[in-house]
C-alpha cells in the first residue's frame, strides 16, 4: 500500500514495515546494532534464541530509522525511556514540536507508524493458529462474535484478527496497554467491499476515548493484517503512507532538533 490518493494532504501518517527474515547482511546488521543503546542491547541479549535476538534488532533498527528520518537526525542519537506505565517514550530530543510513534511486530513482520498526533498500529500473522470464534465468544462483544461466526469457515480467522488488530491499535493509540475487558468496546466494520468505514462504539465509560480516532485496516502482505488508529485532530485530508522499509538510512549524523516526547 502506498500513500492514499489525496492532493496536497494536510497530514501524513508514515508507516514502514519489514520482514526480519529477509535481512542477513552482516555489515548491515552490525550497523544497526551500533545504533542501539546499552539498554536495548541488554534487552536483546536476554533473548535465548538467535532468531528472537535478530527480530528484536531489526524491529528496533526500523523504529530508530523511521523516527530519526522524521526528525531529521541520526538513528543512534535518539535516547529512549519509559513512562510510569512502561510506555516507551523518546527522552531525547525534547521540545515544542509533537511527534508520535508506535512499534508493532508479529511473526514475519515488524512495523512502525509515525505521526504528528497520537497513533497506534498493530499487525498479526494470518498463519497464526488461533481459535478465532472461540476467543471472540469469550472476549469480544456479542455483535462482533456474531459477525465472525457468520463468516465462511475459511475466513473466520481473518475476520477475528481484523477485530483483534483494531482493538490493539486503539488501545496502543490511547496508551492504555492491556485492558481486562475487550468487550467494553467494539468495532463496526462496513460490509461494503469498496468501503473502509470503521466505527468505534464504547460500552463502558472507563474506556471512553480521550480524543476522536479514525481507523484503517488493510493487508500489507499476503500473510499479514494491519490496523491503524490515528487522531482525528490531524489536519485533513490525511495521507496514509504505508510502504516496505528498505533498511537504509541516508540521514546524516548530527544532533536532533527539539521535539516533544514520542510515544510508542
Structural domains in the chain, sorted by start: 11-244 (3.90.470.20)
Q: Which residue has the cell 512495523?
A: 111
Of 52-61, 161-170, 181-190, the poorest mean pLDDT is in 181-190
pLDDT at 259: 32
pLDDT at 7 exceeding the cut of 90 = no
pLDDT at 6: 43
Residues in the chain: 264
pLDDT at 176: 86
User: Contact, 71 vs 93, CB < 8 A?
Assistant: yes
For residue 23, give Cα distances in angstroms to 30, 43, 48, 191, 195. 12, 20, 20, 38, 35
Find the mean pLDDT for residues 108-129: 94
pLDDT winner (highest mean) among 2-16, 52-66, 184-198 = 52-66
Name the residue with higher pLDDT: 170 or 89.
Answer: 170
pLDDT at 93: 78
Find the mean pLDDT for residues 129-143: 88
pLDDT at 98: 64
Find the mean pLDDT for residues 239-244: 95
pLDDT at 192 exceeding the cut of 70 = no
Question: Per-residue confidence at 90, pLDDT binned at 50, 70, 90?
Answer: confident
Q: Whole-model pTM above 0.85?
A: yes
Say how far apart CA 45 and CA 36 lie, in whole Å: 12
Mean per-residue pLDDT over the chain, rounded? 85
Question: Per-residue confidence at 97, pLDDT binned at 50, 70, 90?
Answer: low
Q: Write the DSSP assignment of 221-256 as a string of letters.
A: ETTEEEEEEEETTSPSSEEEEEEE--S-----S-PP
Residue 46, CA atoms < 13 Å, CB-side half-sphere: 5
Question: Per-residue confidence at 88, pLDDT binned at 50, 70, 90?
Answer: confident
Amino acid at each position: 500500500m502506498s500513500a492514499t490518493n489525496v492532493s496536497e494532504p494536510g497530514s501524513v501518517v508514515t508507516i514502514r514495515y519489514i520482514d526480519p527474515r529477509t535481512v542477513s547482511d552482516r555489515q548491515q546488521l552490525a550497523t544497526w546494532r551500533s545504533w542501539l543503546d546499552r539498554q536495548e542491547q541488554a534487552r536483546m541479549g536476554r533473548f535465548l534464541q538467535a532468531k528472537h535476538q535478530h527480530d528484536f534488532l531489526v524491529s528496533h533498527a526500523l523504529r530508530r530509522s523511521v523516527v530519526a528520518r522524521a526528525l531529521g537526525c541520526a538513528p543512534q542519537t535518539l535516547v529512549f525511556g519509559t513512562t510510569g506505565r512502561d510506555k516507551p517514550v523518546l527522552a531525547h530530543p525534547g521540545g515544542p514540536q509533537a511527534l508520535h510513534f508506535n512499534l508493532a511486530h508479529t511473526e514475519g513482520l515488524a512495523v512502525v507508524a509515525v505521526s504528528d498526533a497520537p497513533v497506534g498500529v498493530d499487525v498479526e500473522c494470518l498463519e497464526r493458529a488461533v481459535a478465532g470464534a472461540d476467543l471472540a465468544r469469550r472476549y469480544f462483544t456479542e455483535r462482533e462474535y456474531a459477525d465472525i461466526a457468520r463468516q465462511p469457515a475459511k475466513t473466520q480467522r481473518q475476520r477475528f484478527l481484523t477485530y483483534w488488530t483494531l482493538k490493539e491499535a486503539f488501545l496502543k493509540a490511547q496508551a492504555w496497554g492491556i485492558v481486562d475487558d475487550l468487550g467494553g468496546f467494539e468495532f463496526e466494520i462496513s460490509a461494503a467491499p469498496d468501503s473502509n468505514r470503521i466505527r468505534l462504539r464504547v460500552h463502558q465509560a472507563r474506556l471512553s476515548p480521550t480524543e476522536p480516532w479514525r481507523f484503517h485496516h488493510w493487508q500489507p502482505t499476503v500473510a499479514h493484517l494491519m490496523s491503524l488508529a490515528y487522531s482525528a485532530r490531524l489536519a485533513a485530508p490525511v495521507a496514509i503512507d504505508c510502504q516496505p522499509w528498505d533498511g537504509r538510512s541516508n540521514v546524516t549524523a548530527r544532533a536532533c532538533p527539539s521535539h516533544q516526547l514520542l510515544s510508542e
